[in-house]
Amino acid sequence: MLRVALRPRFLGLLALMLVATLVCGLLATWQWDRAHRAITSKAAGPMELGDIRDVLDVGDAVTNAIAGDTVTAAGTYVPGEQVVVPGRNIGGTEAVLIVTAMMVETEDATQVRLPVARGWLPAEELTGADGQIDPSLAPAPPQGEVEITGRLEASEAASGGVSGGVASEVATPLLVNEWGSPMYSGFVSLEEPGGGLQPLPAAESEFSRGLDWQNIGYSLQWVLFGAFFLYLWWRSVRAAHLDEIADRREALERMLEDSKTDASSSTTSPTTVPATAGPTPDKDV
């Protein structure tokens, strides 16, 4: 098989596969570095990023580099723009999150909505007489200009909807349809909520936990892709080698068949039998 692998055609194919494997290796290293930087930065604790207007532009995604870090914001809560998010389990307690829209003014005087997770309450405190979650029982947000400090989090995946002030997730795609735009793509979870609300634990951020493993998974995928390119080259060489062996075997079998046919023809050729002489008639003496 080595003779087949050293042929120019397969050497060229090997060079192409090595380039593809090298590219996969670089991409795997890049994804691994991203995961390592994210894990290292989070291990040192959240960073103070400052005013959200200096950290995030409207429409920008909350990346893993800043998710979980602390930001500040100043603005006013919007009356009537508040949802509750039930179905959470915090410390063994069935919890309901309280999320309110804050209007933040940017440098160009644009009013932008910032979803703020003001905290959580036990579900029993927000359950009405009918046994259903009642958003009207949630505490109203403070009035007037307020300044907040909290963790910047990425939007959760939108898999449900908003009905009667009850949302399935803290998902900006759902909230923008409910409240309007423009809106920041993430949300802020208050460190010190008031009004009897409890702060959300950092573990509530699935984004900060999940993306590190996602980057590691991408890195392993690129390694597998690189190995697959080399395996594909080996399969091509092996297939060509086996095809040549099969061709030689068939040619040898045809030669043996031809030899047997020639030998059989020479042993069965016809022989000439001499004519038998009849009786000689007597001559008269």
pLDDT tens across the length of the chain (285 residues)? 767 667 777 677 777 777 878 887 777 787 777 666 655 555 556 788 899 999 998 888 888 778 888 999 999 999 889 999 999 988 899 999 999 999 999 988 899 999 999 999 999 999 998 999 999 999 999 999 999 999 999 888 888 888 889 999 999 999 999 999 999 999 999 988 887 899 888 744 444 444 456 666 777 777 887 788 788 878 887 888 787 788 888 888 888 887 877 777 766 655 555 555 555 555 554
Residue 25 C-alpha from the chain's centroid: 18
pLDDT (0 to 100) of residue 183: 95
Cβ contact 6:243 at 8 Å: no
HEC per residue, the chain: CHHHHCCHHHHHHHHHHHHHHHHHHHHHHHHHHHHHHHHHHHHCCCCEEEEHHHHCCCCCCCCCCCCCCEEEEEEEEEEEEEEEEEEEEECCEEEEEEEEEEEEECCCCCEEEEEEEEEEEEHHHHECCCCCECHHHCCCCCCCEEEEEEEEEECCCCCCCEECCEECCCCHHHHHHHHCCCECCEEEEECCCCCCCECCCHHHCHHHHHHHHHHHHHHHHHHHHHHHHHHHHHHHHHHHHHHHHHHHHHHHHHHHHHHHHHHHHHHCCCCCCCCCCCCCCCCCC
The verdict on pTM exceeding 0.75 is no
pLDDT (0 to 100) of residue 21: 80
Q: Which residues contact 92 (CB under 8 A, 6 or more apart)?
A: none
pLDDT (0 to 100) of residue 196: 86
pLDDT (0 to 100) of residue 113: 95
pLDDT (0 to 100) of residue 161: 84
Peptide bond into 139 cis (omega under 30): no
In the chain, what are the domain boundaries?
Answer: 2-43+214-237, 48-205
